[in-house]
Amino acid sequence: MNHIRLGVNVDHVATIRQNRKTLYPDPVLAASICELAGADQITVHLRLDRRHIQERDLYILRQTVQTEINLELAAEEDVLAIACDLKPETATLVPERPDELTTEGGLSVVGREAELGAVINRLKKAGIRVSLFINPDPASVTAAVKAGADQIEIHTGFYSHVRGQEQAKQLARIAEAAETANKHGIAIAAGHGLGYFNTQAICAIPGISELNIGHAIISRAIMVGMDQAVKDMISVIAQGLANRKLS
């Protein structure tokens, strides 16, 4: 593998906009700048409470994004119907609670293979590739494969929010989950909490082919501009992939 895809999540651009109920900043414009800077896809989460991305954003993005759209959504009728109509390249099923600040963990998959399989089949019939956002454990990977997912996205939040020996332990969990996924032949993405100082180690894990990163890039963009923030992350990913090849 000579490339790890970068999906830039522009939700937080919409968060700033919705905080004041203005027309700016525009996540659609942000997405265009991200693509020009080298992003491989645009990731957005249409939450049930519509706290940031709005339906109008999605349909304009569908008309303007030149790369691919990765739509994160809960397995709920309200947003599933929109996904089937919008037809993003990828739909990533995520857990969602109304009172959470952000997604707090991976989707519960074990024991729900048939239930999630029906949702996955519905999305696939609409021509959409389906990814499941799961915790870094082999059982969840195996369940995702059984449910019929095209891809898994390993939740890296536990790794991202700790340091030292605990971070090394969490990194090992991610590597074990990736190894299980490689054995099953399922595509592997990773994301949540990744930034400029903890992403290289994730890139060095064999099999990971995509990262979805939002908060860190948008935060850095406030200081250096969106174009530079995306390019900086692409450089971090390239170095991490180089480390994989050397190991």
Active site residues: 45, 72, 192
Residue count of the chain: 247
- Tell me which long-range contacts 213-220 makes (C-beta under 8 A, separation of at least 24): 213/6, 213/7, 213/8, 213/9, 214/8, 214/9, 214/10, 214/11, 214/12, 214/43, 215/9, 215/12, 215/102, 217/8, 217/9, 217/34, 218/9, 218/10, 218/12, 218/13, 218/30, 219/12, 220/196
CA distance 91 to 114: 18
Instruction: Determine the Cα–Cα distance for residues 107 and 102; give it in Å rounded to an integer.
Output: 13
Closest CA to 101 of 233, 215, 207, 20: 215
Contact 80, 121 (CB under 8 A): no
